[in-house]
Amino acid sequence: MKSYLLLLVTLVGFLGFSQSYNSDTSELDEKYREDQFYASVTYNLLNEKPKGISQTGFSSGFHFGFIRDMPINQKRNVAIGLGMGISTNSYNQKNVLIEDIDNTIYFTKIDEGEYNVSKNKFTTYLVEVPLEIRWRTSNQQDYNFWRIYTGFKMGYVFYNSSKFKSEVTNEKLSNIDSFNKLQYGLTLSAGYSTWNFHVYYGLNSIFDNSATFDGASIDMKSLKIGLMFYIL
């Protein structure tokens, strides 16, 4: 995890310092862009759950990165944004025990009351590349403005884990092969100034075809809803 953070900080530093400003107003007009660090907190939902799987508790996501802004019109209020970031996402659920039996991963249906489960969640850690179409009412002198940024985000799961605690058994696993390494989906951020509503709608399944539950594939997708903060 530390190595990925170091890589991100190095890249952000390079992109950030590559932007230069001039005291001349005309040159500011020509070079104005909204290069930004971003930080987001989301509530993570499991979308398209198979019958018998239910979610419980608060499932959180934390996201951080940098986006390079590339204006495409003369007013420089419409742009393409391309960036890189990191993300950690937890999903609390019940009814499914992820266990390793003789080096094979099983997704077992359980009775939560019978097991008296105290913790049951899985977590993913990703390096992400967001691509956005960006519209805003800003200029080089006004930093409080309305914005609508919509786009596509591709993520690579470099680490995953699951934790299960109950009175019957405890199971803690990591780097489970059944997770899809690539995660991608549509994004929307809209709001005023620093505070923005944010949603991510996953287009592909969190798990691959090897993950089955009660005889059917687990084709759950991620839906993340929360707040996005843009920091200059």
pLDDT, one tens digit per residue, over 144-199 is 789 999 999 999 999 999 999 998 989 999 999 999 999 999 999 999 988 899 99
pLDDT of res. 217: 85
Residue spans per domain, the chain: 2-231
Task: Report the percentage of the chain scoring pLDDT > 90.
Answer: 56
Range picked from 6-10, 15-19, 97-101 for highest mean pLDDT = 97-101
**22-55 pLDDT per residue, tens:** 334 445 567 788 888 999 999 999 999 888 788 8
In this predicted structure, the answer to whether residue 72 has a pLDDT above a threshold of 90 is yes
In this predicted structure, the answer to whether residue 103 has a pLDDT above a threshold of 60 is yes
Is the CATH code 2.40.160 the one for domain 2-231? yes
Separation CA 53–CA 101 (nearest Å): 21
